[in-house]
Structure 1
């Protein structure tokens, strides 16, 4: 879609584009809250004629001059999801240059990829006002796993009444297991967003990490602040160690879910349909490696 909004843009062409792509237009611009279409067009014309935005578009066009690899990877992912969930409706997929306004939109009927977010880490254009531990996950290698993980939520049944840390851990664990099942050749670091060294370090210290959860009776914790310490975004899990990566509870949940499926010989659909986190934990037989 970026070419339609940046190359030879006129008011007439803009109006035709908005009319011809209503799904994209609603998802991308619906939140802007203008009273009428005229105001929206005026703002979009100003944005996409801005010299800084034009320069960003040119840089994105140079780096993403060929997106065949992204297309092929998405097609493979969609085929994998359809194999396990034939009812899955393949969404329309659009790319765009958002001016670092939107990284990804993943809805049931459409996906929008903000290509500017996925420029190389050493590129002079980078997302602003984001911490480095999050920025480092905006790479092409993370793109498809992130999309698949987002899609997993529509198949990830959960008990909304269970507000425990364990429930959060299992929810994310199922999401990452889903993604690994659909993208079996994708390294774990691109699925969970850790550095390779953080993956190795977590496995090397899994017994100590698990011991912290057990000794502090965390699994059935319901305090939202405490839960965020273990599954929320953070550069590290300071209550365990400055060397323990953030979101360590999600990583543990992934290990528990892996063991649950393996030890109970379940299909991916059967796994995702299991909504009782306590039952998953109980039947997982999980022990640190």
Structure 2
């Protein structure tokens, strides 16, 4: 097939676009060195076993079969005996509303293989960067909106009822802006962020806003490094529009922090305005998303890692927030930069 000379510019443009798209997709994949590790994650769907149990003895058998879950999640030590806990769970699981909730969870999460695979790859990446990381046991459960996510050194429990689609009839009692972040794509990022805390070294004497910003910045940077193909939306919990608008207004946001000398603020009530959960950062604008201090911290940490070219484990082990900020060379991006 012949191509006319008039088509050359368009063909060249298409080749550039194809190359750019291909390069972007390739760059987000974990390396074969990470993915080829001999590591397998099998998520135990424990809610199924618990809802099938019909007697106190059957519940006690489940306790014995899952000691970590029973001890750390069900908190057996708070009950006079195993029989007391079993009787309470038996009553809960026979409740008609709980049965309906369980049925909904089973429909929505009938296939959990995508989450299982994503979590397995995340564990491989964490193990690669932090060889001391020990793979925890992973369970799912339906708690009746009592617990969304438990992450310890030994186990992870995912409360699947919390992660039903935002449009589902059953919803946790959370503000809408927070409830929207409880959805299937957020499960693995939430787990990775929780795990990051054990590697995120800080200076406990530093109680400035800057320290909080850098802590969360390291958390998000860690999560993105472990889940490079995951959209920032599912890491920080902003909509794509909010992310775009935040970058468009980064100079304005940064000016607010500088002009009000916020980086060295130690008043916890002031710090909460920029770090704490909120539908918006009203100190800046009711149109600005909440937690903007965390978002700025992420940008600073990204710049530090890029400019200093430090490995992920070295970055996470750096407790000096001031050093990270000073050596980041951070400056607000101009729109479309």
Q: Structure 2 residue aligned with 1:20, among 44, 54, 65? A: 65
Q: Please say if 1:266 is aligned against 2:316.
A: no
**Rounded Cα–Cα distance in structure 2 between residues aligned with 1:189 and 1:27:** 31
SS of structure 1 residue aligned to 2:110: coil
Q: Structure 2 residue aligned with 1:2, among 37, 47, 59? A: 47
**Rounded Cα–Cα distance in structure 2 between residues aligned with 1:8 and 1:263:** 56
Normalising by structure 2, what TM-score?
0.84
Hey, what does 1:73 align to over in structure 2? 118
Q: CA offsets, 1:20-44, max 9 Å, x none?
A: 1010111221178322222211111
**Rounded Cα–Cα distance in structure 1 between residues aligned with 2:313 and 2:76:** 34
Hey, what does 2:282 align to over in structure 1? 238
Compare 228-237 and 30-39 and name the one that shifted more.
30-39
Cα 1:8–1:272 shift into 2, 3 Å: closer
Hey, what does 2:212 align to over in structure 1? 168
Hey, what does 2:301 align to over in structure 1? 257
Q: Please say if 1:144 is aligned against 2:206.
A: no
Give the paired residue count. Answer: 288
Q: Structure 1 residue aligned with 2:245, among 201, 204, 211? A: 201
Hey, what does 1:182 align to over in structure 2? 226
Q: How does 1:19-168 map to 2 (within 5 A)?
A: 19-30=64-75, 33-128=78-173, 130-168=174-212
Aligned CA RMSD, in angstroms, stands at 1.0
Hey, what does 2:8 align to over in structure 1? none
**Rounded Cα–Cα distance in structure 1 between residues aligned with 2:175 and 2:239:** 15
SS of structure 2 residue aligned to 1:219: helix
> Does the CA contact (< 8 Å) of 2:105 and 2:161 recur in 1?
yes
CA displacement at 1:215 relative to structure 2: 0.1
Larger Cα Rg: Structure 1 or Structure 2? 2
SS of structure 2 residue aligned to 1:288: coil
Gaps of 5+ in 1: none
Q: Structure 1 residue aligned with 2:254, among 210, 217, 224? A: 210
Q: CA offsets, 1:227-277, max 9 Å, x none?
A: 000000000000000111000000000000000010001000110111100
